[in-house]
Structure 1
Amino acid sequence: MTDSGLRVGLIDQARFPRDKTCGDAVAAYVPKVLATISPALRDAFQQIEERQPVNICRVVAPNGTALNFRFSDTGNIIKRIHLDNFLFNQAIAQPHVTAYCERRVTTVKQVSEGWEIETPQELFFARLIIGCDGAQSVVSRKLSDGRLLPEHYSAAVRGYYAGSTGTVSDVFELHFIDGFEMGYFWISPEVDGSCNVGAGGLSEYIAKKSINLRGLLQELISTHPTLSPRFSRAQLHSEIKGFVLPLGSRKIPISGPGWMLCGDAAQLNDTL
C-alpha cells in the first residue's frame, strides 16, 4: 500500500516486541514474496541478525529412517519476537502508517461508507478492513466463518531447549512417531544455539485419542529411544506453550466488498 495514497491504521492488541507461540520456521520463498512488495524489504529481512538459515529438512520415519530434503533456496528459523518486531517496524516506518498498539478489537460493524472498528479505548472508521488477527480472528467471526472445526485445524505445543545434542545448525527436523500418526515432533535450531522443540497434530485426532500434547512432548524427550539421549542434558528455557493452526483444508470466504482476511485469520495454514 506504499504508493496507494491510503492512510493506514495498524491496530494490534500487543506492544512490540512481543512473543508469539510458533514453530519459528520461515519458508524459503518468503524473501521472494517480500521482494514483490519491495526489494528493500527483502534486503532488510536478509539482514536480520536473529535468523538461522536452514537448507535441509530432515524427515525421520517411525522406524528411524531419515531422509534429507535440500531446499533450492535457503529457509530460516526466526523466533517470532524478532520476526514480528521486524515486520512491525518496517510497516510503521512508512509515512502513511499509524500504529495503535495495546488496543484489542472487540467488534467490527459495517456502516454506510465503510466500517466501524471498536476497541475499549476508541472507535475507528475505515473504508477497507484487512483482518490479520490470527486464529481467533474477530474480523473472520464477524464477516466470514471463523469457527475452528476440529477436523480442520491443528493443535501444537512448543518450548525452547538449550543444551541438546545432535542438531545441525542448517537442518530442521520432523520426526514421525509410532502412536501419533496424525502429527509429528519437530526440532528447529535457533541462531542462539537453543532449539524450538514441539509436537502437533490434527485436533480431531488429538481429541479422539485423548492426547495431552504437553505430556507427549515431555514423554518423547524423556523416553523416546533416539530422541531422549539428545535431550539428556538439555534444559527447558521457556514455558511449554500451546497454539492452534487453522488449516487450508476448509474453504471460507476470505474477501468481500471492503474487507479481506490474511494468514491464520483466512485459515490458510499448511503445517508441512
Structure 2
Amino acid sequence: MTGRYDVVIAGGGPSGSAAAWQAAQSGARVAVLDKAEFPRDKPCGDGLTARAVSYLQKMGLADEVATYHRVNRVTVFSPSEWELTFPRRPGMPDHGHTVSRTHLDTVLLKHAESAGAEVYQGAEVAGPELDARGRVVGVVLKSGEKVLGDAVIAADGAYSPIKRALKLDSQYNGYSAIAIRSEMNLNRPDNDSLDIYLKLLFQGDQLPGYGWVFPMGGSRFNIGLGYVNSYKNWQSINATQFLGDFLRTLPAEWEVPPIEELKKNKSVRAWRLPMGFTAWPPWRPGVLFAGDALGAGKPVSGAGISKALESGLTAGECAVAALVNGGPDDFTNYEQRMRAAWGREYRRGRFFNKLAGNPAIASAGLKALDNRTFRDLLLKSMYKKAQSPQHT
C-alpha cells in the first residue's frame, strides 16, 4: 500500500466492490481495504431482486448471475396466501435470484480487482486521516498504517468507523431494522418463490417486519425474520428466541430443525440494517458514504443488496467525476444523484416506519392488506408505478 491513490475504499462488500469496479473502469488508481479474508460469511437474506440482478448484469456479471438459483415470484402470507410476479420493465429482468453472500461478495471483490483495483484483505480501517482543515485525505488502519487518497469512499458497514470518528448523523434521522437468519436443509422440494410471512407477533403485538423462507437450491433454504426499531419494545425482543418461535409455525412436514440445533452448527446470525439515510448529506469534504454506512437499506422491505450496488456504483462514478472537474472538497454531485434516485421513496419510508411502529396501526394495515379488494387496487397501482419511465 505504497504511494497515493485516486480513490481509497474502506470495505469490500457489495457497495465497496461496486464503487471500486466503477472507479477503476474510469482509469482511476483504486485501493480497496477490508478487515476480512475472503471468502467470509456474511449474514443476509441472500435474495437478489430484479433490480439487483440488473446492476450485476451491467457490471458484466450476467453469465455468473445466471448460475444462481432463479426465483420468478413472491408468495405472501398475510395470513391469506397471494402471489406477486416481478413487474416487466424495459431493459430489466423479470426475475430474481438467490445466492449466499459468502460467494457473491467474493465474486464482486475479484471483479473489482480484475478491473484494476488493488485489493488488500486483512486490512482493518480504524478511521479517517484528516488534514489541517479537517478534510478526509485517507484512512488509518488498525495497524497504524496510513493509506492516502484524493477521495475516500466509506463502504465500511452499519458500524462505520469512519462515520463514527467524524461524529456524523443525519438530518433525516434514519432508522434501523434488526434481522436474524439461519440456513438449513428442509424436506421440501426446491421452488422458484420467495415466501414472505407478514403476520409477525411479539407478545400479541403486530410488528413492523416480516419473516421469510428463501430457496437457495439443492433443498437448502435461508429462513429468517426482521423488524424495525420503531416498535417501542424492540429491545425486549430476544431475536434468537423469536426466530425459534417463527420456525415452529412452519409446516411440520418440512422437518425444520429446532433453533437449539441450528445454534450449535453456528448457522444462526443476526445483523443490523440501517435504512432511510443514517448519514446525510452523504458526503463530507474528501469522503462519500455508500451501502450500510449511508443507511441505504430499502424502506419497508429492507432489501440491501440492490441499494448497496447502486450507491457504490454512483459513489465511484461521482468521486472520479468530482476529482477530474472540481476536487475532493465538494461531492454535491453524489448528493444530487442520491436525492433524485431515492429521496421520495425514503421520505415515504421514514413516515410509514413511524406509523408502523404502533402495533394497532400495524395490525390495521395488515388487515387492510389481507382484504383482496384493497390489495388488488394497491398492487395495480404498484405495478403501474414500477413500469413508469422513472422506475425502469
TM tier, smaller: 0.7 to 0.9
Which structure is higher in helix share? 2
Q: CA deviation at 1:143?
A: 4.0
Contact 2:194 2:215 in 1 (8 A): yes
1:142 & 1:22 partners in 2: Cα distance? 26
2:45 & 2:114 partners in 1: Cα distance? 27
**Structure 2 counterpart of 1:93, one-letter code:** S
Q: CA deviation at 1:114?
A: 5.5
Provide, for residues 115-151 of structure 1, a one-character-per-residue CA deviation record: whole Å limited to 9, x for no partner. 131113321111100111111112222346258x997
Partner of 1:197: 223
Provide, for residues 176-198 of structure 1, a one-character-per-residue CA deviation record: whole Å limited to 9, x for no partner. 22524311111010023211000
Partner of 1:65: 80
Matches within 5 A, 1:215-230: 215-222=241-248, 224=249, 227-230=250-253
Q: Does 1:109 align with 2:129?
A: yes
Cα separation, partners in 2 of 1:258 and 1:194, compared to 1, 3 Å: same
Q: Does 1:45 align with 2:64?
A: yes
Partner of 1:171: 193
Contact 1:221 1:231 in 2 (8 A): no
**Greater mean deviation of Cα atoms: 118-127 or 83-92:** 118-127
SS in structure 2 of the partner of residue 2 of structure 1: helix
RMSD: 2.6
Q: CA deviation at 1:164?
A: 4.0
Q: After TM superposition, which residue ranges in structure 1, 4 or more long, deviate above 6 angstroms?
A: none
* Matched-pair identity in %: 25
Q: CA deviation at 1:15?
A: 0.8
SS in structure 2 of the partner of residue 217 of structure 1: helix
Q: CA deviation at 1:170?
A: 0.8
Partner of 1:129: 152
Partner of 1:90: 111
**Structure 2 counterpart of 1:258, one-letter code:** G
Provide, for residues 172-217 of structure 1, a one-character-per-residue CA deviation record: whole Å limited to 9, x for no partner. 1110225243111110100232110001101242734722121111
Which structure is higher in strand share? 1
Cα separation, partners in 2 of 1:261 and 1:164, compared to 1, 3 Å: farther
Partner of 1:248: 276
Cα separation, partners in 2 of 1:127 and 1:105, compared to 1, 3 Å: same
Q: Does 1:100 align with 2:120?
A: yes
Partner of 2:101: 80
Partner of 1:157: 180
SS in structure 2 of the partner of residue 127 of structure 1: strand
Cα separation, partners in 2 of 1:109 and 1:220, compared to 1, 3 Å: same
SS in structure 1 of the partner of residue 50 of structure 2: coil
Contact 1:174 1:186 in 2 (8 A): yes
SS in structure 1 of the partner of residue 27 of structure 2: coil
Cα separation, partners in 2 of 1:35 and 1:176, compared to 1, 3 Å: closer
1:220 & 1:120 partners in 2: Cα distance? 40
Gaps of 5+ in 1: none
